[in-house]
Structure 1
Amino acid sequence: MIRPATARDRAAIARICLLTGAHGADATGVHGDDALLADVYALPYLDGPGGFGLVWDQGDGAVGYVLGTSDTASFQRWFSGEWWPRVAPTHTRVNETGAALAEEAADPRRMLDADLGAYPAHLHVDLLPEAQGRGAGRALIEAACALLAERGVAGVHLGASRANAGALAFYPRVGFAEVGGDEAGVTFARRLGGAQVAE
């Protein structure tokens, strides 16, 4: 049920990103422009340096994914220098919330808050309701970590909103430990090659 993402999955990936983009719930209408979320958090991983995408497909197309990059620093440079300048002008119908997200996306240090020396990779996991409770999240995480380990990556990190109780409970169960955060979110990380991050 896990397979590499292809160009034909782009629309499904964008849809999954939107339908899970409000702390795990449907973000339709939240930002005014419903295409904005995917251009910040999903689609660039199919194109950028070190990027990868794996999808959970139950037979009718992708209903979940793990997306990420093995090199966050290089990916951020590409995102700020090439991706965002190209796609930002297409998002003209954002509301106040969307404008705040676009401003955040334009920050050239947005992805550089974590300890990139120990955890240079990062990833995003999202599942539609029909894929939840089937082991898909765990399977996608393990597949992504195996892919990154094969690339020789030392560790991986990800962020979760404090408002997403499901994510906060899930990541420690799949080998991630909290390594940072603030009032809005938590940064989790996992060493690769079998060594779990110490809590």
Structure 2
Amino acid sequence: MPAEAAQRSGMWYVRHPQAADRPALIDICLRTGHDGGDARSRYADPGLLAEIFLLPYLELEPLWCWLGEDDAGIAGYIVATPDTREYASRGEQQWWPALRRRHPLPDPDREGPQADLTRRAHAGVPTHMDFLDTHPAHLHIDLLPRAQGRGLGAHLMATLLEPLQTAGVPGVHLGVSASNPRANAFYERLAFEVLEQAAWGRWMGRRLALPPPVTA
């Protein structure tokens, strides 16, 4: 289980989110939700992005979520689950039904970003991938432009990966758009490898060295 203590790395202060942080985190989600760029004008209801990719983690996996801030405020976050299948199962009971009632499926012939996003909400958490046995954890990480290239992303990732390893999780994965080369390069620098190609981009993952067994 991840540590509760907050950490400081250079200018960045990393800690678990609190309820009062949610508006700032939602704002970051929307301002980075289109291939790392601003999604607020892309969707008729951009708040659905946070309801899919941020808020369920804060509700269901609060100890696997961290934010990074400096003197100017919150600049980024990482949210994760150590077990994608278990998280998906809990979400089907505790999160997705109410969300789907608020956002009914669009007509089959309706196209556009908002319709696609609503269909994504009705699809739930992807669990069809063959690599889930070796990479059961997954994550989402988002940084404001002012934090990119300044060490926060690497620090947030290290803050997550260490307790995942300690908890015995063998690997972690994420999805990254083909239209976001900066994100692809960032994950490659952190030793993430391509697990599976997709039409929208690729699944990438990193194996975690498991801690040695405890002996009597």
Decide: shared fold, TM above 0.5.
Answer: yes
Aligned position for 1:42: 54
Post-superposition offset of 1:29:
2.4
**How far apart, in 2, do the equivalents of 1:109 and 1:13 lie?**
20
Residue 190 of structure 2 corresponds to residue 162 of structure 1 = no
Post-superposition offset of 1:189:
0.5
Describe the SS at the equivalent of 1:106: helix
Residue 101 of structure 2 corresponds to residue 89 of structure 1 = yes
Question: Do the aligned residues in 2 keep the contact of 1:51 with 1:68 (CA within 8 Å)?
Answer: no
Question: Do the aligned residues in 2 keep the contact of 1:114 with 1:157 (CA within 8 Å)?
Answer: no
Once the two structures are superposed, residues 88-136 of structure 1 have per-residue CA deviations (whole angstroms, 9 ceiling, x without a partner) of 33347x9842121111221146244251110010001110011112111
Match of 2:38 among 26, 29, 54: 26
Describe the SS at the equivalent of 2:149: coil
Question: Do the aligned residues in 1 keep the contact of 2:171 with 2:208 (CA within 8 Å)?
Answer: yes
Identical counterparts, % of pairs: 37
Question: Do the aligned residues in 2 keep the contact of 1:49 with 1:71 (CA within 8 Å)?
Answer: no
Residue 135 of structure 2 corresponds to residue 128 of structure 1 = no
**How far apart, in 2, do the equivalents of 1:193 and 1:185 lie?**
26
Which runs of 5 or more residues in structure 1 are unaligned? none
Once the two structures are superposed, residues 117-172 of structure 1 have per-residue CA deviations (whole angstroms, 9 ceiling, x without a partner) of 10010001110011112111111111110121122211100010000010111101
Residue 112 of structure 2 corresponds to residue 100 of structure 1 = no
Between structure 1 and structure 2, the one with the greater Rg is: 2
Residue 131 of structure 2 corresponds to residue 119 of structure 1 = no
Mean Cα deviation higher: 105-114 or 151-160: 105-114
**Using a 3 Å threshold, how does the CA distance of structure 1 residues 168 and 9 change in structure 2: closer, same or farther?**
same
**How far apart, in 2, do the equivalents of 1:112 and 1:76 lie?**
11
**How far apart, in 2, do the equivalents of 1:194 and 1:175 lie?**
16
TM-score of the pair, normalised by structure 2 = 0.82
Structure 1 counterpart of 2:93, one-letter code: G
Aligned position for 1:63: 75
Describe the SS at the equivalent of 1:31: coil
TM-score of the pair, normalised by structure 1 = 0.89
Q: How many residues align?
A: 194
Question: Do the aligned residues in 1 keep the contact of 2:92 with 2:124 (CA within 8 Å)?
Answer: yes
Describe the SS at the equivalent of 2:129: coil
Aligned position for 1:54: 66
**How far apart, in 2, do the equivalents of 1:114 and 1:14 lie?**
31
Aligned position for 1:8: 20
Cα RMSD of the aligned pairs, angstroms, is: 2.2
Describe the SS at the equivalent of 1:105: helix
**How far apart, in 2, do the equivalents of 1:86 and 1:139 lie?**
34
Match of 1:173 among 178, 181, 189: 189
Which runs of 5 or more residues in structure 2 are unaligned? 1-12, 212-216
**How far apart, in 2, do the equivalents of 1:34 and 1:42 lie?**
13
Question: Do the aligned residues in 2 keep the contact of 1:13 with 1:43 (CA within 8 Å)?
Answer: no
